[in-house]
A and B are shown apart, each in its own frame.
Chain A
């Protein structure tokens, strides 16, 4: 092949001028508009872009996996043969044999009804000419290769019995089973905890080195790109904006969008708050237990989500609570706000509010607010933005007239940089970042003292995250707010918080001033978290 784009004339997979259109009832959506991507033997190519950039659809289209309403144009050359739009029967000689894929959702990408063994063996029997018994032997080797503990037992298990990381390892094993030429990895680590993420990336990089296949790595995370990619394609709105050697492109991006992406690492640090400031929130020996059922005839099962946690937050402080999923950090936040029953004491501006009932809490609610992780789920879908933002006023300032509330809605929307003219629109008409601004506006309308932010940026793209961080910082400055910032994202916590608490299995592992924790972590777990986070972020975060 003599494609202009191929590096050494040996592109294994060469996508040329690919377009993908979706027919929807509201018109045609152009998801991919003429994309050229090539990958050679032994090379790792990263396709980077934020959600909606068309990076996944490009690869789905290449593999014939689009939804029914998708239409494609262009060429997808595998070793010189165009495979785009081939009938399934012919495409199946390549899919799963020569080109394999790993998906973003390890939790749902395996069939829940069949054993791991059966699913691992299926493509081997289909393409590799294995008998079932030979395939079983190979499946065991593969699980060992991807370093799953007690692989014999896992083979007989079902997907729901494995953790997310283990399932992703099974997917990788499946992808490697037939010694493919190309491995397409579509955000394979996004849904995983940071420490798991780091291990999966290591595994992938190691396997690629040993087995020498070409890898196409789809990701939104530039940190990962630096770590594993030889070449990079930057995509936005269905087009490739920029491509090149990973090192040079990350060092000297040409396109302003790439520059912005690289610049998306949240900046700034927050200085500590003097000990003389009054204590706003105090928790002593807090525990929260969930009843997992059992009971009758069986011993009741109890999960201690928060286990003996003590903390103090001073006015104007931002306390970052970090930890992986299941560490109990969100539960702690809700218990502090008296949204969950707990053991231990909680004091808020001098009042003991431990397990206070709804009526006792009501006057205090306006001073302590909560922002959720999921901006899609936390806004009532059938209320207008104006109604959502001012709902708190109905409770706490019932004397206000509808006109006054409307004015307040305008003010607060402006404060979070949203156009007040949009206040009669509904949440589904806004983007993720805008919705998070609405959620923040809802808390700000009450002029609270304390805001608990529960992963407020995790569902957002990096560039949007940065804007939300800026907004939170501005609001804190303008109103002297106190934040409890719950996040698994250490980079953002480092930028926003002046104190950090590390949680694992419901307990505090380590706590202290932000810089001290990040510069000189004492506990192994903290070190591991930081290493995992900065392994990804090192090239961008090292300013």
Chain B
């Protein structure tokens, strides 16, 4: 197993390299530059800036320099947030996004899994229909509609929770963002769990468990749920990577200093290093979570073996 994990991590290096290369040249090809302000800079100032940020060198040299610094873990200085390095920006914002994302993920797994299980056990009855309609609503309503509505209801009308802001991670400031992040995930997890649970409940080995008079708990949890959770896990891999790397919408609406905003800001301001940094962070998360999913799969399903 250890060898398998090592192998997977090694094989991630060329993938990352490709991603860095493609996005480096893509963002450079995009029209405009980091110092194109509404009021053009003086030629002299522009030249100085370009030299400081090494934009005066040929593109391939810049590329090699960037590769070198990324390989040593340095994402370089930000072009837009002039006094900060990308590493500093991420050190401040990534933990916030991870806290919110992880909480939302946990909430989604517990609530969604439970809803899906209940719906499967009550298949084609009113409980099932109610749960699945709720799930469809959850998937359908976009978060930029949910977020203002929740703010209006709990913040403005009921006055229970703050309307926005981070407030150094105070619990009451996290509730609405977490719920908004979790709602669509709850819905997806519930639907997935229901589907695979129904399939599991109809499978021959669950029939065996029933025929041998095993308790309801053994039939539902031991012999159905464990197998039914597998598709949910493979969904949650990429979903977790997306959740933990922040959400632009939620961070904008609630005014949270997470990493999600940097995607948009970086790209719009041609902050090359910021864009590249976010791309690399997301790619690493995706790779790591796909690996975690595969390892979990092997732990849960003895038919899957990596060696």
Contact = CB atoms under 8 A, between A and B. Distances in A.
A112 B227 contact: yes
Nearest to B207: A65
A96 B205 contact: no
A96 B214 contact: yes
A174 interface: yes
B5 to A, nearest CB: 16
B215 A92 contact: yes
CB-based closest 7 A-B pairs: A96-B212, A96-B213, A95-B213, A92-B213, A108-B204, A111-B205, A123-B212
A95 B211 contact: yes
Contacts of B223: 111, 114
A101 B211 contact: yes
Nearest to B203: A108
Contacts of B222: 114
Contacts of B300: 113
B214 A160 contact: no
Contacts of A96: 211-214
A88 B218 CA distance: 13
Query: How many B residues are at the interface, by size bracket?
Result: 20 to 34
14 contacts: A64-B210, A65-B207, A65-B211, A96-B212, A96-B213, A103-B207, A103-B211, A108-B204, A111-B223, A112-B227, A113-B227, A115-B302, A126-B213, A126-B218
Given A113-B300, A126-B214, A68 B207 contact: no
A100 B203 CA distance: 18
Contacts, number: 84
Nearest to B211: A101
A93 B215 CA distance: 10
A163 interface: no
Interface residues of A, number: 34
Given A96-B212, A122-B214, A123-B213, A109 B204 contact: yes
B123 interface: yes
B86 to A, nearest CB: 37
Contacts of A108: 203-205
Interface in A59-109: 63-65, 67-68, 88-89, 91-97, 100-101, 103, 105, 108-109
Nearest to A93: B213
A95 B210 contact: yes
Interface in A143-185: 158, 160, 171, 174
A67 B206 CA distance: 12
Listed residue (B123, B216, B302, B303) with the most chain A CB atoms within 10 angstroms of its CB = B302
A110 interface: yes
Contacts of A92: 213-215
A325 B129 CA distance: 45
A122 B227 CA distance: 18
B303 A100 contact: no
Nearest to A161: B302
B301 interface: yes
Given A112-B205, A122-B218, 15 more contacts: A65-B210, A68-B124, A88-B216, A95-B211, A95-B213, A96-B211, A103-B208, A105-B204, A109-B204, A109-B207, A110-B205, A111-B223, A112-B302, A113-B227, A126-B213
Contacts of A345: none
B204 A103 contact: yes
Contacts of A91: 213
B209 interface: yes
Contacts of A114: 222-223
A112 B213 contact: no
A127 interface: yes
Nearest to A88: B216
B213 A160 contact: no
Interface in B202-251: 202-216, 218, 222-223, 226-227
B204 to A, nearest CB: 4
Contact of A112 (B124, B207, B301): B301
Interface in A293-318: none
A346 to B, nearest CB: 38
B30 to A, nearest CB: 38
B205 A109 contact: yes
A93 B212 CA distance: 9
Interface string A316-334: 0000000000000000000
A67 to B, nearest CB: 8
